[in-house]
Amino acid sequence: MKAIVRHEYGSADVLRFEDVDEPAIGPREVLVRVRAAGVDRGVWHVMTGLPYLARLAFGLRRPRNPVLGMDVSGVVEEVGAEVTTLRPGDEVLGSCTGAFAEYAAVREDRCVLKPAGLTSEQAAALPTSAVTALQAVRHHGRVQPAQRVLVIGAGGGVGSYAVQIAKAYGAHVTGVCSTSKVDLVRSLGADQVVDYTVTDVLGTTERFDLVLDIAGNRGLSGLRRLLSRRGTLVIVGGEDGDRLTGGMGRQLRAALVSTVVRQRLRFFVAVVRRPDLETVLDLVQSGAVRPAVSRTWALADAAQAIRELDQGLVPGKAVVTV
């Protein structure tokens, strides 16, 4: 089968469009014929092997699995011996290792049936980004109706869902993004939109019940000034330039500070599971959330998709089609 692979860590220049063997499936996995695969910041981290600590999971010297990609939408071709909820012919979406390929092995508990009203491209744009946003807003942010929520990074993959999910739970949402993404964030339902190239959000006198800092590098003291006395900060990802730990240093400092202040400072590592995927699909089918797919690329052009994502040129979600 054709796949996007890399045999070493590096920039998108290390990616190759090659023939590889179809993946073998375990007893609790299904083999999916891929129709579309999502592109997000996590793919960049897996490709580059950054931060270095992540290589404990990806492979120390070289990638453990050469095929790139995590979010998948497609058709079940084969099921493992212990799979009970899916069968060949089912259209599904989920999270896996090796989605940038014609076939992918997906765990049953990280996979759900695709609603008929979703295109394959929309479905592939959901798993990691939408579930991360759900966990940030609902699980860790504990959002409540009428609360004031600030989403920093509102124009990206996770941010575009965070704006919509916070609105779905009744919050008043302010989104922060670049100039090119203002219209998108406004169209997703944000009550206010701040263009960070014009206005420094850290200088505002407004206070928020919940601040989501998505893949940011702002200092904790500045972020805390944005919070109400008992507000919550949720750090989602982090790009502080530390090649060893990534944003982990800031996240650990947040955990320590949180023990001595009234404000709640939280961080987490998202894991895609079926219950959260089902909640996301409920929100999509209700009309409260829509996948904001702005660009699609053919599988052979996945490297360019990642380059543009890394340069901040993709509003909302990017998707590779197979």
Supply the DSSP string of 179-224, one letter for each residue.
GGGHHHHHHTT-SEEEETTT--GGG----EEEEEEES----HHHHH
pLDDT at 258: 81
pLDDT at 237: 78
Q: Is the N-terminal amide bond of 127 cis, ω within 30° of 0?
A: no
pLDDT at 242 over 90: no
R_g of the chain, CA atoms, integer Å: 19
pLDDT at 66 over 70: yes
Supply the DSSP symbol for 139. I
Mean pLDDT estimate for the chain = 94
Pairing of strands 91-95, 111-113: antiparallel
**pLDDT tens per residue across span 94-105:** 999 999 999 999
**pLDDT tens per residue across span 169-228:** 999 999 999 999 999 999 999 999 999 999 999 999 999 999 999 977 788 999 999 999
pLDDT at 9: 97
For residue 1, with 0-12 CB atoms within 10 Å meaning exposed, 13-18 middle and 19 or more buried, which class applies?
A: middle
pLDDT at 116 over 80: yes
Tell me the average pLDDT across 250-255: 79
Tell me the average pLDDT across 18-29: 97
**pLDDT tens per residue across span 259-276:** 888 999 998 989 999 999
pLDDT at 239 over 90: no
pLDDT at 48: 94
Write down all domains in the chain, each with its CATH number in brackets. 2-126+291-321 (3.90.180.10), 135-267 (3.40.50.720)
pLDDT at 302 over 70: yes
Tell me the average pLDDT across 160-172: 98
**pLDDT tens per residue across span 53-62:** 889 889 999 9
pLDDT at 119: 98
Q: What percent of the chain has pLDDT over 90?
A: 87
pLDDT at 138: 98
